[in-house]
Amino acid sequence: MKSRDLRLIYDRSAPGHEGYRLPDLDVPEQPLDRILPKEALRAEPPLLPEVSEPEVVRHYIRLSTLNHHVDKDTYPLGSCTMKYNPKLNEDLCRLPGLAGIHPMAPEELAQGLLGLLHRFTGELAEIVGMDTVSLHPAAGAQGELLGIRLIRQYHDHRRNKKKTVIIPDSAHGTNPATARMVGYETVEVRSKEDGRLDLGALREVVNEETAGLMVTNPSTLGLFESEIAEASELLHSVDGLVYMDGANLNAMLGLTRPGDMGADMVHINLHKTFSTPHGGGGPGAGPLGIKAKLEPFLPVPVIVERDGRYLLDSDRPHSIGRLHPYVGNVGVILRAFAYIRSLGGDGLARISRGAILNANYLMKKIEEDYPVAKPGWCMHEFVSTLSWMRKQGVKNIDVAKRLLDHGVHAPTVSFPLIVPDCFMIEPTESESPTSLDRYAEILREIAREVREDPETVKSAPHRTPVRRLDEAGAARKLRVRWRPKPDGERGSND
């Protein structure tokens, strides 16, 4: 296919162009060297593109057309919950009287915003069955960091001598990375044959040095951890705490709650379960729900209500300190609150019900060609294994790339590590039966192709803006910024 225009904004730069006009200076101008020491001034200006406004707009619109996105078509990326992002939420988070508020404005001039955040805290705690929520974590991984940091503070406060955090082998990579950041050793515990937590194996590794357990429920294989309450009891018997990774919360709204399973804390990815956009990698938000015994240790400031007024309370002697420069990703939180307010309790329960129905429906539709790794009904996602395709020389990543040719997105193929040639599919509640039927049809067609014409699959994609990209080459010879060509001002490498 014809090569797409992959020029960068720098490639479009031409001397003299400007895309924005500032007002003229309306105060008397002083010479720069009277204001700033000469040695503090830049020797040469930063190299920035010179482009007119229409060209800037065309450039970014052109780039945008190279992306797949939720508003275009199916995006069933397992563990990422790529659901529809309601447009109302985008409008509300941009209201000037909310988006324009500075975090250091006096509290009495931000009562409306603080009130919304306070109310959101209460409703979110109720949804996950916890006593309160910290809004501070800027992302799921920072929610994990806060969780494990609170575990550490809890043990230090009680003078418990703890060393290890237990993590199932099915866990997402952030779990062990986080435990290490907080200074704990990680102990990996094997999963059962069906991918669930192995209570027997857990008993073997839990001891007096166990600080806590990190567990994802439903598991990364999309299965509910039926013995989670027993696991929690086991941890509590050695004064260990249970951290629940809330990545898969979209499976349980209105059905069950982390707080009712014995978990002491759960992080909530607002950009997954609560519909805030992923934005090409962020910003998200990862508030942490906690039980009351951890409340003294929460990061400051905490939004509190006193006599009908909302205040930022930093006077908390046992707090871990600060995690976020202010109170969290408010712009993201406002979107999530609009979602919760739109749906209410019943609506949220319908969301998880829809997600579970869609996942099981799609699983059933494709199971002949894409056998599920572990048998049984799934929750909101399922993991197929594509190992039969190996004899045709086809890997999961090839099927993923072939899906892109059909204008739909691929499932997750890099994870979970415990399933060979995994294919983790999470359709979400947003998909209609028609779109699921179409996705299933595309998958069946690709399976036929794997049998009859594997080369086409192996060399996919064929119809995307660029063909398969050389990732190894990119890492070998690092080119991580635009550079002007040595001979002139243009630096296009096309």
Q: Which of residues 393-452 bind other proteins (CB under 8 A)?
A: 400-401, 404, 409-410, 414-415, 429-433, 435
State the helix-helix crossing angle for 433-452 and 396-405, rounded to 10 degrees: 120
d(CA 319, CA 143): 16
Q: By CB under 8 A, what part of segment 315-354 binds other proteins?
A: 320-332, 334, 338-351, 353-354
Q: Write down the least CB distance from residue 260 to other proteins, Å.
A: 6
- Tell me which stretch binds other proteins (CB under 8 A): 204-212, 371-379, 385-393, 442-450: 371-379
Matching residue, tokens 């002139």: 488
Considering the complex, state which of residue 106 and residue 488 has its C-beta at the smaller distance from other proteins.
106
- Tell me which stretch binds other proteins (CB under 8 A): 10-18, 238-246, 289-297, 446-454: 10-18
Considering the complex, state which of residue 149 and residue 202 has its C-beta at the smaller distance from other proteins.
149
Considering the complex, state which of residue 18 and residue 451 has its C-beta at the smaller distance from other proteins.
18
Alpha helices in 367-429 (DSSP H): 396-405
Matching residue, tokens 């979209």: 250
Matching residue, tokens 């001397």: 15
- Tell me which stretch binds other proteins (CB under 8 A): 93-101, 199-207, 238-246, 444-452: 93-101
* Contact pattern from residue 377 through residue 396 relative to other proteins, giving x for each residue in contact according to CB under 8 A and a dash for the rest: x-x-----------------
The candidate with the shortest Cα–Cα distance to 93, out of 331, 307, 267, is 331
d(CA 333, CA 139): 11
**Are 454 and 393 a contacting pair, CB within 8 Å?**
yes
Q: Decide the pairing of beta strands 265-267 and 241-245.
A: parallel
Chain centroid to CA 292: 26
Considering the complex, state which of residue 292 and residue 451 has its C-beta at the smaller distance from other proteins.
292
Own/partner pairs for 367-372, CB < 8 Å, 24+ apart? 369/443, 369/444, 369/447, 370/423, 370/443, 370/447
Enclosing H/E stretch for 331: helix 330-366
Amino acid at 458: K
Considering the complex, state which of residue 237 and residue 342 has its C-beta at the smaller distance from other proteins.
342
- Tell me which stretch binds other proteins (CB under 8 A): 226-234, 236-244, 388-396, 444-452: 226-234
In b/e form, how buried is each residue of 271-288, taking b as 16+ CB within 10 angstroms? bbbbbbbbeeeeebbbbb
- Tell me which stretch binds other proteins (CB under 8 A): 66-74, 208-216, 288-296, 445-453: 66-74
The neighbouring-strand residues paired with 304 are 311
d(CA 211, CA 157): 13
Contacting other proteins (CB under 8 A), which of 376, 445, 451, 455?
376
Residue 42 falls in which region: left (phi positive, over 0), alpha (psi -120 to 50) or beta? beta
Contacting other proteins (CB under 8 A), which of 134, 164, 170, 178?
178
Considering the complex, state which of residue 20 and residue 391 has its C-beta at the smaller distance from other proteins.
20
- Tell me which stretch binds other proteins (CB under 8 A): 1-9, 201-209, 235-243, 384-392: 1-9
d(CA 337, CA 123): 9
| Binding flag, residue 375, other proteins (CB under 8 A) | no
Contacting other proteins (CB under 8 A), which of 65, 158, 161, 193?
65
| Binding flag, residue 360, other proteins (CB under 8 A) | yes
Considering the complex, state which of residue 106 and residue 391 has its C-beta at the smaller distance from other proteins.
106
State the helix-helix crossing angle for 174-181 and 140-157, rounded to 10 degrees: 40
Q: By CB under 8 A, what part of segment 111-170 binds other proteins?
A: 111-113, 115-116, 123, 126-127, 138-142, 144-145, 149, 152
Angle at 387 between CA 381 and CA 392, to 5 degrees: 130
Considering the complex, state which of residue 207 and residue 314 has its C-beta at the smaller distance from other proteins.
314
Amino acid at 58: R
* Contact pattern from residue 41 through residue 60 relative to other proteins, giving x for each residue in contact according to CB under 8 A and a dash for the rest: xxx-xxxxxxx-x--xx-xx
Q: Write down the least CB distance from residue 389 to other proteins, Å.
A: 19
The neighbouring-strand residues paired with 383 are 424
Q: Write down the least CB distance from residue 20 to other proteins, Å.
A: 4
Calculate the alpha carbon distances from 231 to 89, 215, 237 in Å. Answer: 38, 10, 10
Q: Write down the least CB distance from residue 202 to other proteins, Å.
A: 17
How many angstroms separate the first and last alpha carbons of the chain? 16
Size of the site for other proteins (CB under 8 A): 204
Considering the complex, state which of residue 91 and residue 451 has its C-beta at the smaller distance from other proteins.
91
Q: By CB under 8 A, what part of segment 299-318 binds other proteins?
A: 299
Q: Decide the pairing of beta strands 164-168 and 210-216.
A: parallel
Q: Write down the least CB distance from residue 388 to other proteins, Å.
A: 23
Considering the complex, state which of residue 343 and residue 450 has its C-beta at the smaller distance from other proteins.
343
Considering the complex, state which of residue 96 and residue 391 has its C-beta at the smaller distance from other proteins.
96
**Are 236 and 149 a contacting pair, CB within 8 Å?**
no
Q: Give the max Cα distance, the chain.
A: 77
Q: Write down the least CB distance from residue 349 to other proteins, Å.
A: 7
Q: By CB under 8 A, what part of segment 254-293 binds other proteins?
A: 254-257, 260-261, 275, 277-285
Enclosing H/E stretch for 133: strand 132-134
Q: By CB under 8 A, what part of segment 455-494 binds other proteins?
A: 459, 461, 464-471, 473-475, 478-482, 493-494
